[in-house]
Amino acid sequence: MLSQLLSGNFTIQTIIAEILAVLVIIFLILPFHEWAHAQTAYLLGDKGIKQRGRLSLNPLSHIDPVGALAMLFIGFGWAKPVPVDARYFKNPKVGMAITAFMGPVANLIAALAGLFVFHTLWCIVPTFFTAGGFGSYVLAFLQFYIIVNVNLAVFNLLPIPPLDGSKILFVFLPDKAVMFFYRYQMFFMIGLIVLLWAGPLSYVLTFLSRGALYGIYQFSTLPFRLFGQSTVPFNAIF
C-alpha cells in the first residue's frame, strides 16, 4: 500500500477499500490465525494456554503494534506469537507441527470465505461489481482481502524459522538439528528479510501465492457449479 502511495499508482477507491481490508485483517484475521494456533494446542493437551490469555478471539489478546503498523503501511504484518508448551503433547514434534499448520489454514479459510461472498454476490446480482459505485469498492476490498490472506498463508508455510512451516519441517529432522534451528532462528529471520528485500524470495512467493490463490478459487467455485451457477473466470478477478 505504501509503495502505491509513493508511486502515485492508486485511486481513492482502491485506497479506501484496501484500508478497510487491512483493518479487517488486523482486528479479525490475525487474531483468528493466532486463535487457531491456541485452540489446536489446547485440544492437543496444552491446557495452560487458556491461562496465558490466548484462547480468545479478542484482538487485544493478539495484536502486535509493530506488526499491525506494518500491515497497514506495507500490506504484510503479524500478531503476537502464541506461546505453546509442547511438553503436554503426546508427540511434541507432531503436536507442534499440527498447531503451526492450523494458523495458515485459518488464513486460507478466511480467503475462502471472501471468495464465497464474491461468488454469492455475483450470482444474486451479476452486475454488482461492474456497475461502478459501491460495487467497485466491494470488489477492491474482496480482491485485496483474499490476496493478503493467501499471501500470509503461503509465507507462513515457508520452512524457515521462526515461521509456521519450520515447525512442520522439524517433524522430519533429528532433535540436534531442531535445536540448532531454534538457537539461531533470529539469524534465519534476518536472512529471510534480506532475501525478501533483495528480490529472489519475492519471486518464489509470488509464484507460490498465485498457485495457491488459483487452487482456493477453483475450490470455492465447486458448490456454485454443482447447482449450475456460472462463476467469474479467475483472470477476471485476479
Q: pLDDT tens-digit profile of 167-219? A: 999 999 998 998 898 888 888 888 887 877 777 788 889 999 999 999 999 99
C-alpha cell of 27?
482486528
Give residue-wise pLDDT tens across range 125-184. 888 887 678 888 899 999 999 999 999 999 999 998 889 999 999 999 998 998 898 888
How far apart, in whole angstroms, are the C-alpha atoms of residue 191 and residue 144?
Answer: 27
Residue 60 has pLDDT above 50, yes or no: yes
Which phi and psi (to 5°) does residue 199 adopt? 120, -45
- 235 or 192: whose pLDDT is higher? 235
Enumerate residues 6+ apart whose C-beta is below 8 A from 126.
none
The winner for highest mean pLDDT among 64-73, 113-122, 175-184, 229-238 is 113-122
C-alpha cell of 129?
461489481
Predicted local confidence at residue 109, as pLDDT: 97
Q: Domain range for residue 84?
A: 2-237
Catalytic residues: 34
Q: How many C-beta neighbours within 10 Å does residue 217 have?
A: 22
The CA distances from residue 95 to 53, 85, 137, 177, 219, in Å, are: 20, 10, 42, 18, 28
Predicted local confidence at residue 198, as pLDDT: 76
Residue 12 has pLDDT above 90, yes or no: no
DSSP percent split of the chain into helix, strand, coil, nearest 5: 75, 0, 25
Predicted local confidence at residue 129, as pLDDT: 84
User: Structural domain tally of the chain?
Assistant: 1
Predicted local confidence at residue 6, as pLDDT: 45
Residue 113 has pLDDT above 50, yes or no: yes
CA-nearest of 47, 9, 223, 49 to 120 is 223
Length, in residues, of the chain: 238
Predicted local confidence at residue 11, as pLDDT: 74
Predicted local confidence at residue 102, as pLDDT: 97
Residue 7 has pLDDT above 60, yes or no: no
One DSSP character per residue, 30-83 reads HHHHHHHHHHHHHHHT-GGGTTTT-SS--GGGTB-HHHHHHHHHHS---BPPPP
Give residue-wise pLDDT tens across range 38-56. 999 999 999 999 888 899 9
Which three-class secondary structure state does DSSP give residue 1?
Answer: coil
pLDDT confidence tier of residue 8, bands split at 50, 70 and 90: low
